[in-house]
Amino acid sequence: MKARGFLLRSALVAALGGLLFGFDTAVISGAEQALQDMFAGTYASLAASFENIRFLGTTGFWHGCTTASALIGTILGAWLAGKPSDVWGRLKTLFVLGVLYFVSAVWSGLAWDWWSFVIARFLGGLAVGGSSVVGPIYIAEISPAASRGRLVALFQFNIVFGILLAFLSNFIIGMLHLGDTEWRWIFGVEAVPAAAFMVLLLGNAQSPRWLMAKGRDGEAKAALERLGIANVETELLAIRESIDLDHHRVREPFFQRRYVKPILLAFAIAMFNQLSGINALLYYSQRIFEMAGASVSVARFQSVIVGLTNLVFTMMAMAIIDHFGRKKLMLVGSLGYILSLGTAAWAFHTERGGYLVLASFIVFIASHAFGQGAVIWVFISEIFPNRVRARGQALGSFTHWFMCAAISWTFPMMVGKPDAPGASQAGAKVFAFYAAMMVLQLAWVLVAMPETKGVPLEEIQKKLGIE
């Protein structure tokens, strides 16, 4: 029982990287319009410098750049995190990411101009991208197959809990009427959970699978025993066979024929995750609700409702993911996406707005939490063999964050300010596009997505035809 408690504790601490991930992702929603007003002069100057280039010559492009600055770091963080994770180990890499979260939060709150703010957010993005790779890998590698889905889903739970905390924090800070310094507090408070994350990581065990890959078999055995894994010798043998150190080096090429199936699966699920428009809603939730006719305070409160819905349905998905299966959750989520996004598009087109938009977004976020949100990080962490798992997770995360940057950067360019002429019709077109993409996701789930429920990591590669 004590060992099981240590396993749960280790997974929970690693999953706190997800809480910071979610907080950092959503917190800008409460400040992005204040930032647009504050940096208006900078945007105008930058746009004037590129007035002959269609997109760069608009202030909307540069505000999208501000919002997406963290996402540029996220893309690089996701792509680069695999190597230090393989070299230093999952645990040390998570600690470095905690440092980046802390520095970004403090720096963002103290930023003195546009450039300093963008750089600070970029550093936070590196941490978010790295966390999306290393956190799920670490949890998957310390977990027994029977409970792996639930334990890795703790990472997603903490992401949505972090999102809820960000929306709630924005709402509370807004109620304090801090004036011109409000946006600084919105970003600066993240330093507190970042510091806690670093301290708690010091008590975690290293990944036994990483230790085996480094030839440290004795330490791997001790780690498995400490984590309470049953049949330690059998587990060690399975890990040793899957790594196959004599024939498959960690440095072997990643992009090769044997890995085509998991590569395409990771790319597809990550791409569709963002083509739903989920991060446009998270980053611009206040703006979207204001487009639908809500006041600033009401819009922030509605964002809290969305965050709470996200949390509740994520908990529901966590409770059944290892029984119901990854594929069935994706099917239910896809249908909910199509219904809710189609309704939102119709509401904006007919300018009905108000509570219909809120209801649509509640269904949307519930569908995301129950489907893609609960499945993506579990699924990607499962489909690659040990020797390339970090790079496979990095590919999925890179695709996820590249698409996220594209969606988030272009959203303010397409819809403009909430009170701009034609904003409602522009919103209708955007959400209709997202709905169409979810129809394609539904087809992909039905035709191409395999079920990985309850399958040991070493067996999944055989199921996908990997030697």
pLDDT tens profile 17-76: 989 988 998 898 888 888 888 998 998 998 888 887 777 778 878 888 888 888 888 888
CA distances from 101 to 162, 198, 229, 396 (A): 13, 10, 32, 21
Tell me the average pLDDT of the chain: 85
Q: Which residue has the tokens 């938009």?
A: 357
Enumerate residues 6+ apart whose C-beta is below 8 A from 154. 11, 12, 15, 18, 139, 318
pLDDT average, residue stretch 377-400? 81
pLDDT on residue 374: 80
244 closest CA partner among 209, 283, 285: 209
Amino acid code (one letter) for 273: N
Distance between CA 137 and CA 115 in Å, rounded?
A: 34
Q: Which residue range forms the structural domain that includes residue 459? A: 2-463
Question: At 352, which CATH number?
Answer: 1.20.1250.20
Q: How many domains are there within the chain?
A: 1
Q: Which of 178-187, 246-255, 312-321 has the lowest mean pLDDT?
A: 246-255
How much of the chain is helix, strand and coil, in % rounded to 5? 80, 0, 20
Task: Determine the average pLDDT of the residues in 81-97.
Answer: 89
Segment 336-356, tens digit of pLDDT: 999 999 999 998 888 776 788
For residues 71 and 89, what is the distance between their CA atoms, to the nearest angstrom?
Answer: 24
The pLDDT tens digits for 103-161 are: 999 999 999 999 999 999 999 999 998 998 898 888 888 887 777 777 877 887 888 89
Structure letter (DSSP) for residue 205: P
Residue with tokens 């940057």: 405
pLDDT in the model for residue 244: 62
pTM for the complete prediction?
0.77
Q: What is the pLDDT of residues 232-285, one digit of tens each?
A: 777 777 777 766 644 454 566 778 888 888 999 999 999 999 999 998 887 888
For tokens 């394609």, the residue is 440
Dist CA 121 CA 103 (whole Å)? 10
User: How big is the chain, counted in residues?
Assistant: 467
Q: Which two tokens stand for residue 327?
A: 């594929």
Backbone φ and ψ of 73, nearest 5°: -65, -35
Q: Report CA-CA distances (Å) from 242 to 115, 226, 247, 248, 394.
A: 47, 22, 11, 9, 20
